């Protein structure tokens, strides 16, 4: 942990953080991964999404949330006018994961892996400096809040890394449990309202 902390502290820009983090040797899972998956979207976005870890498609492309769950994520946020492709920071998204390497067989990240990445995640949030953080599923809740239980946490605004944060159910969960989309929609509207309130002069 000390090593990750020292490495993360050295990064003064997101580009430096990506470079430095990709050289971190402390996690076994990197050996089985094809790509280091850092982030996607607009680094100046007001909203930063923190996911779990790359899956197969993300590992192949080197970009977060580009598989089936990622396509649903894009549609969800486009419904409230936000997109990773937007050039305007007001409408943009910045997307990353707790783990930058795919765990073998897409297994859940272990607590030790989450702990090892925490200094990098904290620095990532600090450097991107979003107004709002979305914690997508249990893994980012474990990292940012020190607890999980996403079905209870979702929709309740909290604070993570010193910023307003909204836990939401992961789109992979929504693909398996489509009835839960109703609550996810309520959470998106809550996010949208918060963004609008924050834009008032």
The reply to whether 120 sits near ligand URA by the rule CB under 6 A is no
The reply to whether 94 sits near ligand URA by the rule CB under 6 A is no
The reply to whether 72 sits near ligand URA by the rule CB under 6 A is no
Segment contacting ligand URA by CB under 6 A, of 9-17, 58-66, 178-186, 187-195: 58-66
Site size for ligand URA (CB under 6 A): 13
We find the least distance from the C-beta atom of residue 199 to ligand URA, in angstroms, to be 28
Of the candidates 69, 72, 92, 144, which one interacts with ligand URA according to CB under 6 A? 69
CB nearer ligand URA, residue 24 or residue 65? 65
The reply to whether 70 sits near ligand URA by the rule CB under 6 A is yes
3-state secondary structure the chain: CHHHHHHHHHCCCHHHHHHHHHCCCCCHHHHHCCCCCCEEECCCCCEEEEECCCCHHHHHHCCCCCCHHHHHHHHHHHCCCCECCCCCHHHEEEEEECCCCCCHHHCCCCHHHHHHHHHHHHHHHHHHCCCEEEEECHHHHHHHHCCCCHHHHCCCCEEECCEEEEEECCHHHHHHCHHHHHHHHHHHHHHHHHHHHHHCC
Q: Would you give the binding string for ligand URA spanning residues 153-172, x where CB under 6 A is met?
A: -------------------x
The reply to whether 119 sits near ligand URA by the rule CB under 6 A is no
Which sign does the torsion angle of CA 133, 136, 138, 139 carry? negative
Segment contacting ligand URA by CB under 6 A, of 24-32, 65-73, 79-87, 189-197: 65-73
The reply to whether 103 sits near ligand URA by the rule CB under 6 A is no
CB 144 within 8 A of CB 120: no
We find the least distance from the C-beta atom of residue 30 to ligand URA, in angstroms, to be 16
The reply to whether 65 sits near ligand URA by the rule CB under 6 A is yes
In Å, what is the CA distance from 29 to each residue of 109, 116, 177?
10, 12, 29
Which chain residues interact with ligand URA by CB under 6 A? 51-55, 58, 64-65, 67, 69-70, 97, 172
């Amino acid at each position: 942990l000390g090593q990750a902390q020292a490495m993360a502290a050295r990064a003064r820009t997101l580009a430096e953080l990506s470079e430095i983090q990709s050289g971190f040797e402390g996690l076994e899972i990197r050996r089985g991964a094809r790509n280091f998956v850092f982030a996607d979207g607009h680094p100046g976005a007001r909203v930063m999404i923190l996911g779990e870890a790359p899956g197969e498609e993300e590992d192949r492309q080197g970009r977060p949330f580009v598989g089936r769950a990622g396509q649903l994520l894009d549609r969800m946020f486009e419904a409230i006018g936000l997109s990773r492709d937007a050039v305007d920071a007001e409408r943009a998204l910045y997307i990353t994961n707790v783990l930058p390497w795919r765990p073998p067989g897409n297994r859940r990240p272990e607590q030790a892996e989450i702990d090892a990445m925490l200094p990098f995640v904290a620095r990532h949030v600090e450097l991107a400096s979003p107004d709002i953080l979305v914690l997508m599923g249990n893994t980012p809740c474990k990292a940012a809040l020190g607890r999980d239980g996403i079905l209870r946490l979702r929709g309740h605004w909290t604070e993570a890394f010193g910023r307003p944060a909204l836990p939401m159910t992961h789109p992979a969960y929504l693909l398996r449990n489509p009835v839960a989309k109703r609550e996810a929609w309520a959470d998106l509207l809550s996010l949208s309202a918060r963004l609008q309130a924050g834009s008032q002069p």
